[in-house]
Structure 1
Amino acid sequence: MTETVRLPLAYHDTAVASSYHLASAEAVAALLPRRGGRPLLRPIPLPGGRTPVAVHAYRYRTVTWTGTGGATHTLAPYGEVGVTAGVLAGPAARGGARPATGGFVLQLPVTSREARDLGREAWGLPKWLGDMDFLDAPALQRVRLSEAGTEVLVHTVRTRGPALRGSSSRTLWSVRDGRLLETPIPVSARWQAHPGPGGAELVLGAHRLAAWLRRLELSSSPLTAFRAVEYRSTLPAGRSLGPVDGVPAAPYPGSDAASARFTVAYPGTAPLPQYPEVAVR
């Protein structure tokens, strides 16, 4: 019998490429949880009614957790594309505690059902199965996200300059079973940054979720972009901050297959399937 996954998860070896884009603060606010008609999270305000929304592309190559007997278990490697709103959590959410800054996940496709189910069950994350084709080059990382041959987006990050150590943690908010969860995520990383619009490009496709993202009025070019030269993190269980009465619509269901397409190409190579049982389509 397979042992139930125990938290925290340890992410030992992760490829990360991120960019931060401008979006409509009003459109983002409509997607955030509320209680008693009052917002629990607020979009980070920027001039002109705009707010930052991040697009993250991850390749989790080594993920482990510790079983009840002390044995180390692993999750299968997987890809993930996150679209995350930059938010402020004030006293209404945190019981009078000092306001905090972090992210509320709007979309989180992954390439394995194992990762999808765990993310939904443990944190209420809006995960679904998406096909991901990565290009990993010395100064560029690109991912094409699609489903059943229909493109959702293409995310490209370019980097330059020295790698610098970044923040030691970040905070994630999500809604599980009608309650707001706050999850602090310790991170050890070194980043290459490319500030300004030349650091990344986001192109939306014809998929229904691309149309959904267009309603957020996401800018195609970013405020800034980052790529991790080194990235390790720990994902613990979230802390409940109480019930919510205004939540986004049910997450996109997607396929119920065991896995989606997950390939990685390097300069001069064809796409290399990361799951032998999934053929490149």
Structure 2
Amino acid sequence: MQPYRGRAAPGVGAAPSPAAFGYHKDDPSRHVPPIPNPNCYPQIFWVEGCADASAPPGAPFPPPVPDRRRKPRNDGERRSAGFLVMFLLILVAFTGVGLSIFKIFHLEKEVDELRESASAEHIPPASQKLTGQKEQPVQKEARRAAHLTGNPAQQDLPLEWEPISGHAYTSGIQYQQRGLVVSEPGLYFVYSKVLFRGSACDSQLLSHVVYKRNPSSPGSLVLMEDKATNFCTGKRMWARNSYLGALFKLRKMDSLHVNVSKIALVNFEESKTFFGLFKL
């Protein structure tokens, strides 16, 4: 059958009539659905149940609907992502191992330093290691020294001192008969300080002497001496310090004493008049 090309089918743009699909209004049972033609395109012009194959140029076919499904990644991208993840994991593992090794090395160094310091402070003898007995700590011998301060309760010479109260003390040295008695021979530094003070100046002599005695030798031996004249002028108050200090080799039972020219001129405050020694 030749298609009709002279004029358009009636009802262009409207829905096709029911008769075109084999439907009869009077007899619904005679409705037979048409068999679709596989060679027919979307109908624009109809000729005896089939659309014209040649569509007018003003009515193009609708564009195809794009596939909205996610495209799978190719194998190269998957391998790159896998290598990157593996590299990061290996890097983290090596970093943790490196930090652990550094920490262990630092702890071992600290332990070695503690062992060296402990061994330097105390090295037990071989007998102690074998028997397991603890060594008794060696008590360091107290230094032999003495410091005496002024005692205002003076009556005669040599000067009397305070050996206990205030800043005074004795350690390994005895205070007997107003003097310091040496119990162990050796080198000693001996010192003495006296403050003289008066209300009126006169021309009398001031003297400050440190001397020693020993039961095996008669008499006394002067160790240090200070004398002063013309130390003040006018009829007014005055004060003068006298300090003696030197190193001496003393024998056992040597006793040291202090003499002054006049007891009444001595200020016996503990910070101004004192006497002492210590063993080197």
Report the structure number with the largest CA radius of gyration. Answer: 2
TM-score, length of structure 2 as denominator length:
0.19
Q: Would you tell me which structure has more strand in proportion to its own residues? A: 1
Greater relative CO (CA pairs within 8 A, separation 6+): 1
TM-score, length of structure 1 as denominator length:
0.19
